[in-house]
Structure 1
């Protein structure tokens, strides 16, 4: 959530942010009104309580008609205090409810617009010319079948559409990717973490995934637990309700977890293969830093993502995501998109977001700097979303006979394999 003081001091900035996101601007005025009622009812309650306490001291000293009159007044005051208390609680609850609906403030340098209004910041690597090499590239699913690596038919039979099995070298390739990603993150100073895949509602809400993203979340009604769509959620909630000493910052974690997404609204999109699925594994970077350090940390996370994709020898570009495509928690987001030959376009492989103080305020995570205690900043960055990375590797490193060259960084984790060979049918 945002700082209410900032809202009161500069409501136009918040309105502009909502407008840039394509979200409800009227929410700002409703929140301002609720906050004013919260503060004025709080003042009213304090005044009545002070009067009640003063009256309580007079009653024992009074007698006769005076005491009767004071008791009558005390009875009315008690009713007024109770009413003021109820009014204050109702206004506070309304303020909190509206505040939780308000998205983070968009960074001023973010391009304004929808999904297609991003700005390309840089491009890396060379897109292969398969025509010049004398063959038509196969897509990742055909390659996966040739290699005995991907089985979507049995995935659908067992679990339904958008589920799959990774088999043989497909399973080994996933394990190689995870181990290589964790190795890079550990070398960069991240603490590796295996995180829960089920979280409580306060953890999911605290990270901002029960707002506009709620339709994509799986919920277990009987247990009131949510399946995470990213280990960002348990990593953000890891320090929930804690105060962290400033000399411990930055705190950096690399979480590995299964991820579950309904992919609501994606009907008809990426239905072939394993690019868009309901369950996948992912290595996620997560940072806790002082608010003034968040932009620099955001650049560091992006550099680690670029280092990873470069090590996989993939052509990719970096985009500055437009305001309407940020997600409620992010003030700014960069995506790294790899070239997918059979689609003839770049597709998102990694993403990194600066969530500023938005999540820490909701999760009550603060930093103690001397005598000052204040919210800190949280940031996240995908290092390796496994299925999409497998898609990019298979398609970009394929050879004419259906074999696939293994990027050098992965070879130590694949028993030294340099080539993934087709298997006999």
Structure 2
């Protein structure tokens, strides 16, 4: 019997106290004492190098000399401040000492054994779903184009079962769920560490002429949840604050890599995301907590996976440390990433002005995020692992209560296969 959901949501998220209303003139409070201290230059330069990121420390230090002179009257020189802050914002977060010398991925451990397919050759997801008429990824006409999909019949039900299962597990772990917007100001995305309007951006930006300036589609609920806490102040006793959301995620990224074919990398998909704001001395433990939560979520689903400690060059600019979990996809004969979790320390909170008070001391919170369920890749792992040569898919026991007790997915005969007709214009 499902517990009432609303009681977990209403009244449990502390009221957010804004120290000041959001304004485009609000400037982040970067750790200038660290980044602009010449004694730290070798460490910072090395960090930029091993992270393979952008950022020019020499330019930051040169601009800081000008910025210091204008501080007493910086309101008269907004361009100086803007230029300096823009340049320093390009520098990546620090890197955890335990991984700073790692040149490659470190496998921490494996979970579940690989299924034995000695009796038959496993099929790849696209072939399984083609035979069972469960997915439509081509011949979409004018509907949604390249890198899109329809889930049909029981596969659409399995998607909903995955989401409901994940939500229930997180609610039972005292995560507070938030329904989030998918359209955000570009400043929120940039302050979370995303690049906007660059050659390699993953972000869809709306047409400013018709839809208003500086609006973007969210790539993950992490951005919306971080934006919810923007310009807020908390008490240490109320932390950690554990939030989660189900949202659509929009990614402009494309790939021609054969391992990322089909629905592995798409332009929009559903994801359940975890987000935690905590004190500085708790964040490393909270990263381990998120990783353990992910392992507890995925283990009962029955596919083999490995947990990875990622090297510096695999860290995005906000991340201090990151773990990935890859699932074995037997039809592809390869591992594929199904989740990640990151400790961003105060990289995002300094940009978003999220603080906490502990006694007499005020500090910036540390933010962490983690994938609880990215639907397309989870479905690839599930169908390829639990396929049956007789043409059905076994549903893991933990998901069966969320899909009307069904034990198997069978061929879809309800939604007809698509047939294109030639229309003379």
Query: Where on the TM-score scale, by shorter chain, does this alignment land: which range?
Result: 0.7 to 0.9
Shift of 1:89: 3.5
Q: Which residue of 1 aligns with 2:374?
A: 385
2:391 equivalent to 1:398: no
1:148 Cα deviation after fit: 3.1
Is the contact between residue 153 and residue 412 of structure 2 (CA under 8 Å) also seen in structure 1? no
Identify the match of residue 231 of structure 1 among 211, 221, 224.
221
3-state SS of paired residue (2:242):
strand
C-alpha deviation, 1:214, in angstroms:
5.8
Q: 1:162 to 1:270 in 2, by over 3 A?
A: farther
1:119-148 C-alpha deviation (Å, 9 max, x unpaired): 1111111112212xx111111112223333
CA distance in 2: counterparts of 1:167 and 1:151, whole angstroms: 8
Farther off after superposition, 354-363 or 193-202? 193-202
Q: Distance in 1 between matches of 2:341 and 2:260?
A: 25
What does residue 35 of structure 2 align with?
7
- Displacement of 1:40 in angstroms is 2.7
Cα displacement (A) at 1:380: 0.2
Instruction: Indicate if the aligned counterparts of 1:206 and 1:237 stay in contact, CA closer than 8 A.
Output: no
Taking the aligned partners of 2:316 and 2:329, their CA distance within structure 1 comes to: 25
Q: Within 5 Å, which residues of 2 pair with 1:114-193?
A: 117-131=104-118, 134-155=119-140, 158-193=143-178
* Secondary structure, counterpart of 2:266 in structure 1: coil
Alpha-carbon shift at residue 169 of structure 1 (Å): 0.6
Q: 1:262-306: per-residue Cα shift (whole Å, max 9, x none)?
A: 114x23445642111111000000000001111100000000011
* Alignment of 1:33 onto 2:23: no
Any conservation in 2 of the 1:218–1:262 contact (CA below 8 Å)?
Answer: yes
Match of 2:180 among 195, 200, 219: 195
Structure 2 residue 266 is matched with structure 1 residue 277: yes
| Cα separation, 2, equivalents of 1:256 and 1:306 | 19
Shift of 1:308: 1.0
Deviations 1:17-59 (A, max 9, x none): 101112356x11211222222113335x5xxxxxxxxxxxxxx
TM-score normalised per structure 1: 0.84
User: In structure 2, how many angstroms separate the alpha carbons of the residues matched to 1:42 and 1:279?
Assistant: 44
Residue 218 of structure 1 deviates from its aligned partner by 0.4
Residue 280 (structure 2) aligns with: 291
Pairing of 1:240-255 with structure 2 (within 5 A): 240-255=230-245
Q: Deviations over 1:154-191 (max 9, x none)?
A: 44652112101011011101100000001111111101
Structure 1 position 409 matched with structure 2 position 394? no
> Is residue 292 of structure 2 the alignment partner of residue 303 of structure 1?
yes
1:220 pairs with one of 192, 203, 206: 206
CA contact 2:259–2:332 (8 Å) conserved in 1? no
CA RMSD of aligned residues (A): 2.0
Q: 1:21 to 1:12 in 2, by over 3 A?
A: same
The alignment of Structure 1 onto Structure 2 pairs a total of residues equal to: 379
Structure 1 gaps of 5+ residues are 46-83
Does the C-alpha gap of structure 1 residues 273 and 22 become closer, same or farther in structure 2, counting only changes over 3 Å?
A: closer
Question: Helix, strand or coil: the match of 1:333?
Answer: strand
Contact 1:147 1:420 in 2 (8 A): no
In terms of mean alpha carbon deviation, does 238-247 or 296-305 score higher?
A: 238-247
Taking structure 1 as reference, are residues 192 and 214 closer, same or farther at Cα in structure 2, changes over 3 Å only? farther
Aligned to 1:65: none
Q: Does 1:104 find its partner at 2:134?
A: no
Secondary structure in 1 aligned to 2:262?
coil
Taking the aligned partners of 1:398 and 1:330, their CA distance within structure 2 comes to: 37
Is the counterpart of residue 210 in structure 1 residue 201 in structure 2?
A: no
Question: Which structure 2 segments of 5+ residues have no match?
Answer: 1-27, 418-425
Q: Which has a greater percent of helix? A: 1
* Pair 1:110–1:155, CA change in 2 (3 A): farther
**Pair 1:30–1:347, CA change in 2 (3 A):** same
**1:346 aligns to what?**
335
The residue number in structure 2 matching 1:335 is 324
Q: Hey, what's the Cα distance between the residues in 2 that align with 1:15 and 1:129?
A: 48
User: What is the deviation of 1:213?
Assistant: 9.0
Deviates more, 1:203-212 or 1:285-294: 203-212
What TM-score do you get using the length of structure 2 for normalisation? 0.84
Residue 287 of structure 1 aligns to a residue whose secondary structure is strand
